[in-house]
Amino acid sequence: MTIIVTGGAGFIGSNFVFHMLKNHPEDRIICLDKLTYAGNLSTLAPVMNQSNFRFVKDDICDREAVYRLFEEEHPDIVVNFAAESHVDRSIETPEIFLQTNIIGTAVLMDACRKYGIRRYHQVSTDEVYGDLPLDRPDLFFTEETPIHTSSPYSSSKASADLLVMAYHRTYELPVTISRCSNNYGPYHFPEKLIPLMIVNALHDKPLPVYGEGLNVRDWLYVEDHCKAIDLVIHNGRVGEVYNIGGHNEMRNIDIVKLICNALGKPESLITHVADRKGHDMRYAIDPTKIHNELGWLPETKFADGIEQTIDWYLHHQEWWETIISGEYQNYYDKMYGNRAVLV
């Protein structure tokens, strides 16, 4: 089979490319990626010369380029990871999120309609469900939880999900959607909580925790997410949504303290700063459906996954040093330079 993986030079997409090449060597993997600030070609260097892998630098919003690729490759499956993915950036500049996350999804699905496809898979997020209160630990997101978004990012992802379902109903496009909780692991861009704290701690820089740090996220090791998508594209039912999460809820402040301790850095580096606008309190996935239907369960315990992740950052300094020495510095100064410090 020929599989187009969009956004394969980013965090989860690259881990998925590696997963597929390793576990399905008979398949041909085409990575379509625009190489935005979040895409990194060096990540894909180990597979670049593999005969069943091709990298194409293009924008999923570029209809001509996408159609050309479909004419060349006749894909059987498209897995769409390509997106603007950072909530904080969406609060600063929403428009690019609408462009890539909504229009890009429509262009990809139009190509699937025009040239035919066995499966279009949309990689979505638990953020489309909004958030849960901290005082109701009995509540979880199921596939039936109403869409109720908070940020321009989550709204753009929810819009894309609605379009995907509309293309299924209207054009009978064979689609699936997965909605996953927070991922962590290798190649995570250092604008996100876990890699940002690791990188800052290694430089003895302040660790900027938004507000009191009581917000809860449900962390999943990235390889477990890749395995779940692999199952959904092969065995998932067309027209269905699958939630993916590991029942691994943690408060931000506890994650940051854990990172300090693991790296032997003082917790006094922790700096409470002004909160994110519209900050979601708690995410928690109920993964019963994917477990019952497809037999998926998370395999990596958080204690092991976070240790492996910290170790990966310690041993791949060149990968993230290159990133943070470029445009990232301007981003960091803009987002954190004037942010109020809470006492």
Query: Which partner in ligand NAD, ligand DAU, none is near 6 (CB below 5 to 8 A by kind)?
Result: ligand NAD
Contact of 45 with 30, CB cutoff 8 Å = no
Interaction of residue 252 with ligand DAU, rule CB under 6 A: yes
205 belongs to the binding site for ligand DAU (CB under 6 A): no
242 is catalytic: no
Q: Give, to the nearest 10 degrees, the angle between helix 193-202 and helix 302-315.
A: 50
User: What's the closest the beta carbon of residue 43 comes to ligand DAU, in angstroms?
Assistant: 17
Amino acid in the structure at residue 225: H
Least Å from the CB of residue 209 to ligand DAU:
5
Please pick, among 33, 59, 84, 127, the residue that the annotation labels catalytic.
Answer: 127
Catalytic, 126? Answer yes
Distance CA 230, CA 23 (A): 10
Residue type, 213: G
End-to-end CA distance of the chain: 57
- Give whichever of 9 and 269 is closer to ligand NAD, judged by the CB atom: 9
Shortest distance in whole angstroms from residue 210 CB to ligand NAD: 16
Figure out which of the listed residues 19, 34, 86, 121 binds ligand DAU, where binding follows CB under 6 A. 86
Residue 326, both tokens: 């470029």
Residue type, 290: I
Polymer length in residues for the chain: 343
Judged by beta carbon, residue 75 or residue 152, the one nearer ligand DAU is 152
Q: Is 34 in the site for ligand NAD (CB under 6 A)?
A: yes
Q: Site map for ligand NAD, 163-202, x if CB under 6 A?
A: -----------------x-xx-----x-------------
Q: Which is nearer to ligand NAD, 103 or 166 (CB)?
A: 103
Q: Quick check: is 153 catalytic? A: yes
Which spans of this chain sit near ligand NAD (rule: CB under 6 A)?
Answer: 6-7, 9-13, 33-36, 38-39, 59-61, 81-85, 100, 104, 123, 125, 157, 180, 182-183, 189
Which spans of this chain sit near ligand DAU (rule: CB under 6 A)?
Answer: 85-87, 125-127, 181-182, 192-193, 196, 208-210, 215, 217, 252, 276, 283
For the annotated catalytic residues, the residue numbers are 126-127, 153
